[in-house]
Structure 1
Amino acid sequence: MGETVSKAGERAPATSLGLLDATMVGIGAMIGAGIFVLTGLAANIAGPAVIAVFALNGVVTSFTALAYAELAAAIPRNGGGYAYVREVFSAPVSFVMGWTRWFTYMIAGALYALGFASNFVEFAHIYGFDLPGPPVVYALLVVVVFVALNALSTAASGGAETVITLVKIAILGVFVAFGLSVARVDEFQPFFPEAGPIALLPAMGLTFIAFQGYDLIATVTEEVENPTVNIPRAIILSVVVTVVVYLLVIFVAIGTLGAEALGAAGETAVARAAEGFMPTFPLVGTGAAIIAFGAVFSTISALNAVVIGSSRVAFAMGRERQLPAALGRLHHRYGTPFVGILASAAVMLVAVVVVPIQVVGNLASLFSLLGFTIVNVAVIRLRRQQPDLRRPFEMPFYPYTPILGIGCNLLLGFFIDPFTWALALGWLAVGGVVYLLLARRGYGEGERRESVIAEAEPLDLEDEHK
């Protein structure tokens, strides 16, 4: 569909993404860090129980995914969690939510770029090429490429996300198909590390960023066709598909390589596992080459998804005048949040250079956990403030679902190391300074736009069944 104009006469984002595209934004962001970057690091902490780590994180994230689905259907606006919190909380609270979500996506972009670089170098090495320069150079380059793609076209970046994600799912499918027949169950004994089941909690905190992705779907709500129906569907589909893929891949990786070797392999763990059992394919080469290629694709799609998400949060905050207004404008020619994309890219590039990959993963996970906690609170608050609001999608088992989401997210956050908390508090302090400076210029409190929740059409179940 073409360009649209809001009731206020502003240029609005074009609805260029369908259900498949929206779902692939979520899957593309999730299947990347968890499998190809953090699996080995988590195995180093939890041993064979890393498969339980991912399963439990899947359960924990499902509570918040249902919260996002309900809020996205009721508040069909770009910005995701920030937009929902802005609707039901005061300006300072919504600013903190937007500031932390923006940072989460940007720091996740650094994580995926670093993961891409490691796997790209490994991929070249498999074919006998020693690439010049350190891996960080390739991490910086891939950020620049996908920032340019997103700056020029939303449709192009969304279409690229769909193609790349489908390719990597197919590659992981090949890995699982060959690995299931040779995976050894005895590699899971003893199941827990020496520290016992308690070791699962820090590993869950580290890998929780692997389940950030479905929330990116909500950041592009206004660019999705029939969002009150398609956004909840895309969120739920992306979580289900991702959890199933994660568990299958981790089972095969541990069952063939063993948890100790998996942990030693770090960011290239899955590719190393493939070396032991996958055959050589004509033209392509070894199974390890295919998986390394899949890892490159996975980290690229995850990076593309968070570039999309981070720029939309910046766009939403600029449009609400909680950040400079330039961030909230679409480019006159390309129709993209051009300034928001460039601002997000700047932080990603700095993080790629100065922040170690494990610190990046912990930071992204911590801010995700805190942001998801607030989103669950927003569901409860909106239900109390507007009990008669027509909600096209309602989460099951309310209020137990959001309460469990709040408790689980806070528990995992508690087990993230103090250094990461110190960095997080530092970013919040920077945000406080920015808020006060903008408030002095008439920005910080924002100018609340006309509520969109009354405009959200309820889902007509009779029409759905026709």
Structure 2
Amino acid sequence: MGKEKQKTFTTLDGWAMGTGAMIGATVFVASGLMAGVAGPASSLSFVIAAAVTLIIASCYCEISSAFPRSGGAYIYPKETMGKAGESVSFLTGWAFYGGQGLGSAVLALTCAFYVEWTLNLIGVGLPVGTNVFAILTILVFGIANMIDTRLGNAIQLVSTFAVIAALLIFIIWGGANVDRKLLTPFMPKGFGSVLSAATLCWATYGGWSAIPNMSSEFRNPAKDVPRSMILSLVTCGVTFGIIGVVMNGLMPYAQLAKESAPLAAAAATFTSKGALIIAMGGIFAAVSTLNGLMMSGSRMIYAMGKEGSLPKMLGKVNPRSGTPVTALGVTMLGMLFLAWTGLVSIILQMVAFVTAFSWVISCLCIFALRKNRPEVVPAFHVPFYPVTPVIAIILSIFMVTRMDGKAILIGTAWIIIGFIVYCLFHKTGLKRFCVIKKEEG
């Protein structure tokens, strides 16, 4: 097996990946639904969801700085929970991969829909079907990341800055055209609706948790990973909150709830050029999110293959590029299948649940770290221990209780499938042929 390539990621790269992974699904897709639930106060929902997630992320900062390796949530239980850690690690990694890895196929379809919407705006039709366009998009980004993560990383930086530029234009230009009458009453359906709206975007804030999965790519992971997570969450929380105010000030919230492209529709109320800019921003947002989750999702099964929890071929890297080609290929094939068959909508319903599952386990690892591994000194310590991890776990469970029952059912089914795979793989002779032997010397 060849040597892995030199580490190149910085805090800026991590910020771009985390921010890009959060922008797409949240502000361009969920914002209209949130407005329908909470009215203008949906802007406050963005901030509440970000604050809740920031508490959870602070726990991740400690555990990720203690074990800065590819695999993120999959690695932590194995390192801290002793004998039980292996099985818990597998289920955590399985849950994360199903939600943040394969589930990201929907972003390819989102990109296709925005491209079609943009072309229709200028009087040109999409030359191929949206499913075909989505498949081509997955192939392009999958191959780009297989060639070299620096290429995928460059795409990530460019697309993230392009999206932020489009959103800033919306904030400034749209803010000058806000009708304050549309913002009153600010909370027409009560504070409970604000919390309900927060659950709609909470899971889509999960893009930050993709950063620890890329720990092995960072120059200084112990410091850069926590910084990247916090910066990306603060960036998105503040930006989304402001956008929520502007959006609701441009169009009645009941109408926003009916729009498939709420930001573009809001921008169209004062200029067609603004609508085109936002539509382009939606394309870049989908691209940025797709690329970020494809990179991080593949690192999850790469780590599981390298550690011997899945077939060893998944844990190999290309000798020339240093990229986990097999893991990327499997992830790409799974996404292609979902995009082609239309199962993406079903997978998306479990994303929120399985992501919350992995977050809770990672927060529990903080306690296991302090108790079982006192010799490990993380570069970052969660503030107000043990109160913060307890609050993070309680908030995660509370958010899950606000989710749709179907999402909980499908998410539970995915975890049960993972348990079956674990039993078949680890309780039979298969594992003997799937463990990578350590190189001598």
Matched, 1:271 2:258: no
- 1:218-297 alignment, distance < 5 Å: 218-266=212-260, 268-278=261-271, 286-297=273-284
Secondary structure at the aligned position of 1:313 is classed as helix
1:6 aligned partner: none
Number of residue equivalences: 434
Pick aligned residue for 1:130 from 85, 102, 125? 125
Please say if residues 41 and 186 of structure 2, whose CA atoms lie closer than 8 Å, have aligned partners that are also in contact.
yes
Q: Percent of counterpart pairs with the same letter? A: 29
Q: Distance in 2 between matches of 1:259 and 1:149?
A: 40
Deviation at 1:296, TM superposition (A): 0.3
Residues 192-232 of structure 1: CA deviation (Å, up to 9, x unaligned) = 455x4333444333322321122111111111111112111
One-letter amino acid of the structure 2 residue matched with residue 288 of structure 1: A
Q: Distance in 1 between matches of 2:26 and 2:343?
A: 17
Deviation at 1:61, TM superposition (A): 0.3
Secondary structure at the aligned position of 2:380 is classed as coil
Pick aligned residue for 1:333 from 295, 320, 333? 320
- 1:199-210 alignment, distance < 5 Å: 199-210=193-204
2:17 aligned partner: 25
2:311 aligned partner: 324
Please say if residues 312 and 435 of structure 2, whose CA atoms lie closer than 8 Å, have aligned partners that are also in contact.
no
Q: Distance in 2 between matches of 1:358 and 1:207?
A: 16
One-letter amino acid of the structure 2 residue matched with residue 213 of structure 1: G
Pick aligned residue for 1:443 from 423, 431, 435? 431
* Cα distance change on mapping 1:83 and 1:291 into 2, 3 Å: same
Pick aligned residue for 2:112 from 103, 117, 120? 117
2:39 aligned partner: 47
- 1:67-466 alignment, distance < 5 Å: 67-89=59-81, 90-192=85-187, 194=189, 196-266=190-260, 268-278=261-271, 286-355=273-342, 359-387=346-374, 389-439=376-426, 440-443=428-431
Of Structure 1 and Structure 2, the greater helix share is in 2
2:8 aligned partner: 16
Residues 214-260 of structure 1: CA deviation (Å, up to 9, x unaligned) = 21111111111111121111111111111111111121111111211
Please say if residues 99 and 348 of structure 2, whose CA atoms lie closer than 8 Å, have aligned partners that are also in contact.
no
Deviation at 1:428, TM superposition (A): 1.7
Please say if residues 20 and 234 of structure 1, whose CA atoms lie closer than 8 Å, have aligned partners that are also in contact.
yes
Deviation at 1:413, TM superposition (A): 0.9
Please say if residues 39 and 188 of structure 2, whose CA atoms lie closer than 8 Å, have aligned partners that are also in contact.
yes
RMSD value, Cα: 2.3
Residues 328-370 of structure 1: CA deviation (Å, up to 9, x unaligned) = 1102333211111111122222333445776554321221111
Please say if residues 78 and 222 of structure 1, whose CA atoms lie closer than 8 Å, have aligned partners that are also in contact.
yes
Q: Distance in 2 between matches of 1:245 and 1:17?
A: 24
* Cα distance change on mapping 1:41 and 1:348 into 2, 3 Å: farther
Q: Distance in 2 between matches of 1:438 and 1:388?
A: 32
One-letter amino acid of the structure 1 residue matched with residue 116 of structure 2: V
Q: Distance in 1 between matches of 2:17 and 2:195?
A: 28
* Cα distance change on mapping 1:374 and 1:397 into 2, 3 Å: same
Residues 257-288 of structure 1: CA deviation (Å, up to 9, x unaligned) = 1211211112x11111111124x6xxxxx111
Residues 413-451 of structure 1: CA deviation (Å, up to 9, x unaligned) = 11222222221122122212211221113539997999x
Residues 95-115 of structure 1: CA deviation (Å, up to 9, x unaligned) = 000000111112441232222
Deviation at 1:170, TM superposition (A): 1.1
Q: Distance in 2 between matches of 1:39 and 1:294?
A: 15
Q: Distance in 2 between matches of 1:135 and 1:178?
A: 31
* Cα distance change on mapping 1:324 and 1:388 into 2, 3 Å: closer
One-letter amino acid of the structure 1 residue matched with residue 21 of structure 2: A
Q: Distance in 2 between matches of 1:155 and 1:442?
A: 35
Q: Distance in 1 between matches of 2:287 and 2:390?
A: 35
One-letter amino acid of the structure 2 residue matched with residue 325 of structure 1: K
Deviation at 1:384, TM superposition (A): 2.1
Deviation at 1:12, TM superposition (A): 3.1
Please say if residues 175 and 274 of structure 1, whose CA atoms lie closer than 8 Å, have aligned partners that are also in contact.
yes
Please say if residues 436 and 444 of structure 1, whose CA atoms lie closer than 8 Å, have aligned partners that are also in contact.
no
Please say if residues 4 and 323 of structure 2, whose CA atoms lie closer than 8 Å, have aligned partners that are also in contact.
no
Q: Distance in 2 between matches of 1:44 and 1:101?
A: 29
Secondary structure at the aligned position of 2:258 is classed as helix
TM-score by length of 2: 0.92
Secondary structure at the aligned position of 2:104 is classed as helix
* Cα distance change on mapping 1:153 and 1:120 into 2, 3 Å: same
Pick aligned residue for 2:30 from 33, 38, 54? 38
My pick for the range that moved more, 312-321 or 400-409, is 400-409
Gaps of 5+ in 1: 1-8, 281-285, 451-466
Please say if residues 313 and 326 of structure 2, whose CA atoms lie closer than 8 Å, have aligned partners that are also in contact.
yes
* Cα distance change on mapping 1:21 and 1:49 into 2, 3 Å: same
* Cα distance change on mapping 1:305 and 1:160 into 2, 3 Å: same
Q: Distance in 2 between matches of 1:66 and 1:448?
A: 33
Please say if residues 66 and 395 of structure 1, whose CA atoms lie closer than 8 Å, have aligned partners that are also in contact.
yes
Q: Distance in 1 between matches of 2:414 and 2:36?
A: 29
Q: Distance in 1 between matches of 2:432 and 2:44?
A: 43
Secondary structure at the aligned position of 1:437 is classed as helix
One-letter amino acid of the structure 1 residue matched with residue 333 of structure 2: A
Deviation at 1:44, TM superposition (A): 2.9
Deviation at 1:69, TM superposition (A): 1.4
Please say if residues 376 and 406 of structure 1, whose CA atoms lie closer than 8 Å, have aligned partners that are also in contact.
yes
Please say if residues 147 and 342 of structure 1, whose CA atoms lie closer than 8 Å, have aligned partners that are also in contact.
yes
